[in-house]
Amino acid sequence: MKILSALLLLFTLAFAEVIELTNKNFDDVVLKSGKYTLVKFYADWCSHCKRMNPEYEKLAEELKPKSDLIQIAAIDANKYSKYMKVYDIDGFPTMKLFTPKDISHPIEFSGSRDSESFLNFLESTTGLKLKKKAEVNEPSLVQSIDDSTIDDLVGKDRFIAVTASWCGYCKRLHPEWEKLAKAFGNDDIVIGNVVTDVVEGENIKAKYKVQSFPTILYFTAGSDEPIRYESPDRTVEGLVKFVNEQAGLFRDPDGTLNFNAGLIPGVSDKLTNYIKEKDQSLLESTLDLLSNHEHIKDKFSVKYHKKVIEKLLKGENEFLNNEVERLSKMLNTKLSANNSDSVIKRLNILRNFIEAKTESKPQLLHQEL
């Protein structure tokens, strides 16, 4: 009989979140377990008891991970009436916390009958940390787009996924799309999403002949003609590579700049390994070339190339190594995203003068977004 009772107790503890007590298991569960035990004394006819059941069950569910320390139980005190006299129960529902240190003198709960109030009571009386840490979700950098807003973005490059909330492929794309938006969070490019069954998107679907989900479209600034992303590679790596190609950017999937950032095609390659050649005429001709490159988007890189060339034309060759050393030290400090981009571009440009281009890039040790 004792073995059967023990098995029944184990079954109750393993499969019930709110442990249902009887006169047979009360002592073992409450008085001998060595755990904190919150007991609800109720009557099956009590409407207040029934109304609080969902909150009490929610409490038990939340405390499941802490079941080695604390347990949530209930007993029909109307049926097992001896406990009403022992624990001074004069109304239903009554909740009392039994503590291992003073099991004979349970502490009565007197707050609101909701899971949050129960948790506050249990934390304050037991000293245990019972509440789950609130998950901090980073705000999405993906811009929600609909029929009324898409035309407002025509002045920027846009990479837009046309999706539906029920679409399995779209759901798998979602985390990669969020990573993509984060990678280009420091660039003037829109990573957008049209969830057609959530926002008004019928005009977008008709205009761009969307026949399946997801349909992924790239628009260059000023253009209303999309380039369709047809690749089966919908990982952030594949998506970043495509955006780099279309926008002339140099991001890695983690958002840092790669070794080509800051270099200007047709200009920087002329200056590669200049420090060995020391051809002044090459510097002068390149400076003239830069003056005619007003169409280059990256004005910062044009300006910095000019600065370096002017330093070299003045004979300040030590500027190159001194500046590389100074900027490299900056990468070991906390930098904003804008500052880290600036430093990496300058280092790429300087190193291009000093040595042939390699497949490595400056290592950013600390970055604050």
> Do 343 and 367 contact (CB within 8 A), yes or no?
no
H-type alpha helices, the chain: 2-15, 26, 47-62, 82-86, 115-126, 168-183, 202-207, 236-247, 268-271, 274-277, 280-291, 299-313, 318-330, 337-354
Query: Residue 76, SS3?
Result: strand
Q: Which residues contact 309 (CB under 8 A, 6 or more apart)?
A: 271, 283, 286, 287, 290
Structure tokens at 103: 């099991």
- Cα(171)–Cα(314) distance, integer angstroms: 58
> Do 37 and 98 contact (CB within 8 A), yes or no?
yes
Ramachandran quadrant class, 140 (left: phi over 0; alpha: psi -120 to 50; beta: rest):
beta
Give the pairing type, strands 189-195 and 70-76. unpaired
Evaluated on CA atoms 277, 281, 284, 285, the torsion sign reads negative
Residues that are catalytic: 46, 49, 167, 170
Spatial CA neighbour of 277 closest among 206, 213, 355: 355
* Strand blocks (E) in 207-264: 215-219, 227-228
- Helix, strand, coil distribution of the chain in percent, nearest 5: 45, 15, 40
Residue recorded with tokens 């099956």: 44
Whether the bond between 65 and the residue before it is cis, its omega within 30 degrees of 0, is: no
- Residue 265 burial (CB count, 10 A): 9
Q: Which whole-number Å values give the CA distances from 14 to 7, 67, 70, in the listed order?
A: 11, 10, 14
